[in-house]
Amino acid sequence: MGDTRLDSVCVFCGSSDAAAPALLASAADLGRILAREGLALIYGGGGVGLMGACAKAAHEAGGQVLGIIPHFLKERERRLDIVETVVVDSMHERKMMMFERADGFVVLPGGIGTLEEVVELLSWRRLDLHGKPVVFYNPGGFWEPLFALFQHTVDQNLTPPSFMASWASVDTVEAIVPALRRGAPEGEDAASDVAQLT
């Protein structure tokens, strides 16, 4: 799988304004890079935390941004009205729409919500329901405990060893888009397969 077309990127990340300033700055840097590279940002629709920092920076840099947010989170996650936003009924609908609209996925540091999103995404990958690239931004080894847990399930013969090649991990924001492009499948679209399961 070489460099192939990548038009839109879904970013999963934390929605806490209490995140470290360096993480918020990195999220903003990613937003600007996506805009510069002509890649549409698909994200959770909020204006808080890393999610808000990434979306605002992408928008201010002239990038295309689409937020997808459930109606019950519009106030809690402070819907970002400066970008196009679709309001849906449930978390399930939000995740499905994000999946369908994205050609690749970036996982920035986040909490339990981010974990829930990425575990489902990788589970679908494990089931061969998609081959879209997944890239973790792993500053200071942030995601190493999760990778160790995945490896533990492999060591216990509960997950096949091939699963450990389901994503890429990078230490710098600048390395994210090149990693996505290296992992982009050619002409693959399994969103309909996923939809049949849900």
CATH at residue 153: 3.40.50.450
The verdict on residue 3 lying in a domain is no
Single-letter code of the amino acid located at 24: L
The verdict on residue 192 lying in a domain is no
The verdict on residue 196 lying in a domain is no
**Of 56-70, 76-90, 151-165, 177-191, minimum mean pLDDT range:** 177-191
Q: Could you tell me where the DSSP H helices lie in 61-130? A: 91-101, 112-126
Look up the domain containing 96 and give its range.
8-186
What confidence score (pLDDT) does residue 92 get? Answer: 92
Tell me how many degrees the CA angle 174-136-124 measures, rounded to the nearest 5: 140
The verdict on residue 159 lying in a domain is yes
Tell whether pTM > 0.85. yes
What confidence score (pLDDT) does residue 114 get? Answer: 96
Percent of the chain with pLDDT over 70: 87
Q: Quick: pLDDT tens for 158-173.
A: 999 999 999 999 999 9
What confidence score (pLDDT) does residue 189 get? Answer: 40
CA contacts within 13 A on the Cβ side of 172: 3
The verdict on residue 198 lying in a domain is no
Question: Does 29 or 197 have the greater pLDDT score?
Answer: 29
pLDDT band at 77 (very low <50, low <70, confident <90, very high): low
Q: Quick: pLDDT tens for 114-142.
A: 999 999 999 999 999 999 999 999 999 99
The verdict on residue 57 lying in a domain is yes
Strand runs labelled E in 48-148: 65-70, 84-88, 104-107, 134-137
What confidence score (pLDDT) does residue 79 get? Answer: 67
Q: Quick: pLDDT tens for 5-49.
A: 899 999 999 999 999 999 999 999 999 999 999 999 999 998 899
b/e sequence 136-167, b meaning 16+ C-beta within 10 Å: bbbbeebbeebeeebeeeeeeeebeeebeebb
Total domains in the fold of the chain = 1
The secondary structure element, H or E, covering residue 12 is strand 8-12
The verdict on residue 109 lying in a domain is yes
Q: Is 67 helix (H, G, I), strand (E, B) or coil?
A: strand
